[in-house]
Chains A and B, each alone.
Chain A
Amino acid sequence: MSPQAGVTIQTQFETAAQQREADQLGMWLFLATEALLFGGIFAGYLGYRVLHPETFAAAAAHMKVGLGTLNTAVLLTSSLTVALAHHLVQQGRRRATLVLLGATIALGCAFLAIKALEYTLEFREGLMPLPGLEFRYDGPPPGQMFFNLYYTMTGLHALHLTVAVVMMAVIFVLVWRWRTPDRQARQVEMAGLYWHFVDIVWLFVYPALYLV
Chain B
Amino acid sequence: MSTTASPPLGRRLDTRAAAAGRNYLNESTSLRSWLLTTDHKRIAWLYLASITFFFFIGSLAALLIRLELITPAGDLVDSDTYNKLFSLHGIIMVWFFLVPSIPTTLGNFLLPLMIGARDVAFPRLNLLSWYIYTLGGLFTLTATLAGGVDTGWTFYTPYSSMFSNTAVVMAATGVFVVGFSSILTGLNFMVTVHKLRAPGLTWFRLPIMVWTLYATSLIMVLATPVLSISLLLIVLERVFGIGIFDPALGGDPLLFQHLFWFYSHPAVYIMILPGMGVVSEIIPCFARRPLFGYRAVALASLGIALFGFLVWGHHMFVSGQSLYAGAVFSLFSFLVAVPSAIKVFNWTATLYQGRIHLTGPMLYALSFVGLFTLGGLTGLFLATLALDVHLHDTYFVTAHFHYIMVGGMVTAYFGGLQFWWPKMTGRMYSEIWAVIAAITLFIGFNLTFFPQYLLGIAGMPRRYHSYPEAFQLLHVASSAGAVLLAVGYLLPAIYLPASLRWGRRVDNPWGALGLEWTAADTPPIKHNFHQTPVVTGPPYGYRNDAEPA
Contact = CB atoms under 8 A, between A and B. Distances in A.
A151 interface: yes
B241 A33 contact: no
Interface in B208-228: 221-226, 228
Contacts of A55: 250
A109 B519 CA distance: 53
Interface string A123-150: 0000001110000000001101100110
Contact of A12 (B120, B241, B252): B120
A12 B117 contact: yes
Contacts of A141: 248-250
A200 interface: no
Contacts of A48: 250-252, 255
Nearest to A12: B119
Contact of A26 (B121, B228, B248, B250): B121
B118 interface: yes
Interface stretch (A35-43, A99-107, A183-191): A35-43
Interface stretch (A17-25, A110-118, A174-182): A17-25
Interface string B399-410: 000000000000
Interface residues of B, number: 45
B240 A130 contact: yes
A90 to B, nearest CB: 21
Interface string B248-262: 111110010011001
Nearest to A144: B249
Contact of B195 (A10, A21, A131): A21
A39 B186 CA distance: 19
A11 B527 contact: yes
Given A40-B259, A41-B229, A145-B251, 5 more contacts: A18-B195, A43-B258, A44-B259, A145-B249, A148-B249
Q: How many of chain A's residues touch chain B, expressed as a range?
A: 35 or more
Contact of A131 (B112, B241, B258): B241
Nearest to A36: B225
Contacts of B248: 141
Interface string B183-224: 100111011001110000000000000000000000001111
Which residue among A10, A12, A141 has the maximum number of chain B CB atoms within 10 Å of its CB?
Answer: A12
Contacts of A148: 242-244, 249
A212 interface: no
Interface string B222-239: 111110111001001000
B229 A26 contact: no
B240 A131 contact: yes
Contact of B230 (A12, A40, A151): A40
Contacts of B188: 26
B459 interface: no
Nearest to A56: B250
A11 B259 CA distance: 40
B229 A22 contact: no
B161 to A, nearest CB: 12
A44 B527 contact: no
Nearest to B220: A33
B244 A142 contact: no
A204 interface: no
B122 interface: yes
B243 A37 contact: no
A29 interface: yes
Which residue among A29, A38, A144 has the maximum number of chain B CB atoms within 10 Å of its CB?
Answer: A29
B90 interface: no
B123 interface: yes
25 contacts: A12-B112, A12-B121, A12-B123, A22-B191, A22-B195, A22-B196, A25-B191, A26-B122, A32-B222, A36-B222, A36-B225, A39-B226, A40-B225, A40-B230, A41-B229, A44-B233, A48-B250, A51-B252, A129-B241, A131-B240, A145-B243, A145-B246, A151-B242, A152-B236, A152-B242
Interface of A: 10-14, 18, 21-22, 25-26, 29-30, 32-34, 36-41, 43-44, 47-48, 51-52, 55, 129-131, 141-142, 144-145, 148-149, 151-152
Which residue among A13, A25, A40, A145 has the maximum number of chain B CB atoms within 10 Å of its CB?
Answer: A40
A36 B240 CA distance: 24
A5 B485 CA distance: 59
Nearest to A26: B191
Contact of A34 (B120, B225, B251, B255): B225
Contacts of A39: 225-226
A17 B195 CA distance: 10
Contact of B121 (A14, A22, A34, A41): A22
A28 to B, nearest CB: 9
A12 B196 contact: yes
A33 B122 contact: no
A41 B230 CA distance: 8
B181 to A, nearest CB: 13
Interface string B117-155: 111111100000000000000000000000000000000
Nearest to A10: B123
A18 to B, nearest CB: 6
Which residue among B117, B233, B250 has the maximum number of chain A CB atoms within 10 Å of its CB?
Answer: B250
Nearest to A38: B229
Contact of A33 (B120, B123, B187): B187
A21 B188 CA distance: 13
Contacts of A43: 258-259
A200 B223 CA distance: 21
B147 to A, nearest CB: 23
Contact of B222 (A12, A33, A152): A33
B118 A12 contact: yes
Contacts of A33: 183, 187, 221-222, 224-225
Contacts of B233: 41, 44, 152
Contacts of B242: 129-130, 148, 151-152
Which residue among B191, B242, B252 has the maximum number of chain A CB atoms within 10 Å of its CB?
Answer: B242
B187 A37 contact: no
Nearest to B194: A25
A47 B249 contact: no
Q: Which 6 A-B pairs have the closest CB atoms?
A: A142-B250, A40-B229, A37-B225, A12-B119, A36-B225, A145-B249
Given A130-B242, A142-B250, A148-B242, A47 B255 contact: yes
A93 to B, nearest CB: 29
Which residue among B119, B225, B230, B255 has the maximum number of chain A CB atoms within 10 Å of its CB?
Answer: B225
Interface in B253-282: 255, 258-259, 262
Nearest to B112: A12
Contact of B226 (A12, A22, A40, A130): A40
B252 A47 contact: yes
